[in-house]
A and B are shown apart, each in its own frame.
Chain A
Amino acid sequence: MSEQSLANQLGWSITTLDYLDDLVCKINAVSNSYEALVGGLSASNYVSEMLEPLALMSRQFCEQADDLAAHVKSEHVEYIERQKQAVLQQMRDL
């Protein structure tokens, strides 16, 4: 495989990993923000029967968002990272 092709593949891996990292960061930020909303409303004497479903929704969201973040890390980031390392090794061997 040519050096240029390997360089392209390495570039592809880095860009893709950046997209996925960005996704995980945004998921975490929104989960935190959701929790902060419930905390903020609870501190501001929010209508109690409306606070409970919001707290439940926040937990639901965090669980599902965490699940997506874990899936991205274990199934995609790790896999592409392995490919990146393989490409780097091939470049070193040239």
Chain B
Amino acid sequence: MVSSMKNKSHNSKITEVFFKVYTGDYSEEGYNKGFADRGNGRPQQGWGVFKINPLNFFWKFGESADSFNRHYRHGYLDRQRVENEVYKESTSSAVSSLADKVENSGVKLEGKSMGVGQDSYQNQLRLIRHARNELQTFRRHLRQLVENYQQQIRAAESSGYMQNMIEPLRSRCSKFDQKVYELDRLISQHDNLIEDHENRIVHLMNNANG
């Protein structure tokens, strides 16, 4: 049992390495290295290409080096953001001074949350999650409405009325279906990208809190 689990894990690691060499996608390694380098106080460097698999010196070298270096810079920059608390939840100076004045005058504030700046991770996460929900809801509505429309056409056809209009409507519908399909595919792509953003903000937030 244990040896079969080990074999499985070994196989998945081989597949992962093979996939990485094949695609030349070193974005994750680049990001983590950049993040760690800045965390360890090392200057930003461009030696990332030496961390890629040697096979990628012969296969997709350009893509490998580019994905590593580009994401290395992102990781490095993100770590700087965390260090400088660029997005840390905080009160803005104007709100802080107002809060101080109120406190000095003896009026009690109901917690600091009222002063949370617009530039907080939480606010960005809220916006992003709201957008993802809206897109998914729209996607469901879109499918439902298309289904309703097709049902209407089938109903008209089976009832035997509007015979002269059904055929032209059918041909219009094939174009309509194509456009809906393209929009649905676009939403799916966008959802993946927005999910990446969400994960990155969570990563920044965890590091800022840690």
Contacts and interface: CB of A to CB of B under 8 A. Distances in A.
Contacts of B165: 79, 83
A75 B161 contact: no
Contact of A37 (B127, B141, B183): B127
Interface residues of B, number: 47
Chain A interface, DSSP helix/strand/loop, else mixed: helix
Q: How large is the interface on A (under 10, 10 to 19, 20 to 34, 35 or more residues)?
A: 35 or more
Contacts of A27: 138
A85 interface: no
A5 B130 CA distance: 46
A71 B176 contact: yes
B38 to A, nearest CB: 15
A26 to B, nearest CB: 5
Given A8-B159, A16-B152, A76-B172, A61 B138 contact: no
A9 B119 CA distance: 55
B208 interface: no
A30 B194 CA distance: 15
B175 A9 contact: no
A50 B155 CA distance: 47
B169 A79 contact: yes
Nearest to A50: B197
B99 interface: no
A53 B70 CA distance: 15
B149 interface: yes
Contacts of B200: 47, 50
A16 B149 contact: yes
A94 interface: no
A72 B127 contact: no
Nearest to B159: A8
Contacts of A64: 179, 182-183, 186
A23 B145 CA distance: 7
A12 B118 contact: no
B134 interface: yes
Given A41-B127, A44-B124, A67 B179 contact: yes
Contacts of B145: 19, 22-23, 26
A43 B118 contact: yes
B87 interface: yes
10 contacts: A20-B149, A33-B134, A40-B127, A43-B118, A44-B118, A53-B193, A75-B172, A75-B175, A80-B169, A83-B162
Given A9-B162, A26-B145, 4 more contacts: A41-B124, A47-B201, A64-B179, A79-B168
Interface of B: 74, 77-78, 81, 86-87, 118-120, 123-124, 127-128, 130-131, 134-135, 138, 141-142, 145, 148-149, 152, 155-156, 159, 161-162, 165, 168-169, 172, 175-176, 179-180, 182-183, 186-187, 190, 193-194, 197, 200-201
